[in-house]
Structure 1
């Protein structure tokens, strides 16, 4: 069975070479870029086994479905530019797609890194995501435009080796990411007709922070745990501020 690796990018010049070289198990690599203003596409184009396609970014679900449509292989592997496969996970992926009784899709558990420090708690303990699947059996739900949901026809399984996610380069980088996600999530809430109240602006963020920091043991991650839990809560606040703005304009 053949494998297409798909990477969605925007201004990932610091990651793109490393992630492409990490995907040496793929039969083809396609970079779907939403018109980066840095060197992302130039760097990606220097690799002979990589196809670079520029496509306007509407939301993650639409962009991922477009990427799937470009793939030539029967199996799809999605990887973010800040994610890496271990040698053990690469071997497990190759073994899995050759199985006659392989399921339609597979979850990866992820290890989160803050700079070069492993995040063990803060809500990351049980994180898993569908990233490996048969092209003909899956597509992304267009109603979920951030933290997009893969709709799978057939059974799903789990791989035992973890995917490493270098999602927290620094405070500023992660804050901007949380603001971006919050604004996208506001579009989902707007479609549902939600009108934000005091509860949404203050109780929801406070609850999320306390849940991640205390009940999901974020305090055991030290200073990094405080930063991560705070910024996740801040994203909730940003979401409803954006939703308030959208409602006031309509």
Structure 2
């Protein structure tokens, strides 16, 4: 008996993504539906999405990445979920592999994708990203985002996992200011995560961890072979770690001040 067609919902979250969103949507147009959850963009992203004939566009306030992706997941109609970032592209070979995978007789519950990182329009081959992989394809009823993380969200999978052969293309670096803002934002969100877990600010880690981040990615993970691109990426990644500890210290001071003011 012929197996029923397994439908796919492509999900994307956006905020000010006019530089990338068109190519991203084009690359997932093979999906049975495309749902984009926008965090009230100010650059015309939402207006563009509303007019797109293949897109179901929804605006939803952003709290953190995990909550936003969990909300997007509730909007999906189909059993298979393809979750991509707005600055990611599904190349043709990967599209074919995805189709074949979801129609296979014994699919895994979820699949990892390796990613090819792009610095503007040229590949970033090292700098710590050469082994990077993420869950991007999974069965809706067998996976959920854990509420233990609010950035670099983690998928909890009920079942086995596989890895697809073809790579996802990730345009990680648009320009210096954009990537710097992204790393600083990630750092602040990680600080909130630490604060909620009652992790305390530590001067030793404040100095050690940013330095280790740069050394690890630039020397041990061969960022030096990426030339000037490697220096830029590794520096900004380390800056994000530094911001994490700066923000944690600010949150602790703010909490201590609030406690002092509330004392009888």
| Same fold per superposition (TM over 0.5) | yes
Structure 2 length normalisation: TM-score? 0.93
Which structure 1 residue ranges, 5 or more long, are not aligned? none
Rg comparison, structure with higher value? 2
In the other structure, the counterpart of 1:150 is 155
In the other structure, the counterpart of 1:126 is 131
In the other structure, the counterpart of 1:209 is 214
Partners of 1:138 and 1:152 within 8 A in 2: yes
In the other structure, the counterpart of 2:241 is 236
Choose which of 216, 224, 231 in structure 2 pairs with 1:219: 224
Q: Which runs of 4+ in 1 moved over 4 A?
A: none
Choose which of 91, 95, 116 in structure 1 pairs with 2:96: 91
Written as runs of structure 1 = structure 2, the 5 A alignment for 1:1-250 is 1-250=6-255
Q: Return the alpha-carbon distance in structure 2 between the equivalents of residues 100 and 63 of structure 1.
A: 32
Which structure 2 residue ranges, 5 or more long, are not aligned? 1-5, 256-264
How many residues align? The count is 250
Q: Return the alpha-carbon distance in structure 2 between the equivalents of residues 238 and 218 of structure 1.
A: 21
Q: Secondary structure at the match of 1:107?
A: strand
Deviates more, 1:232-241 or 1:186-195: 186-195
Q: Return the alpha-carbon distance in structure 1 between the equivalents of residues 64 and 210 of structure 2.
A: 24
Structure 1 length normalisation: TM-score? 0.98
Q: Secondary structure at the match of 2:227?
A: helix
RMSD over aligned Cα, in angstroms?
Answer: 0.8
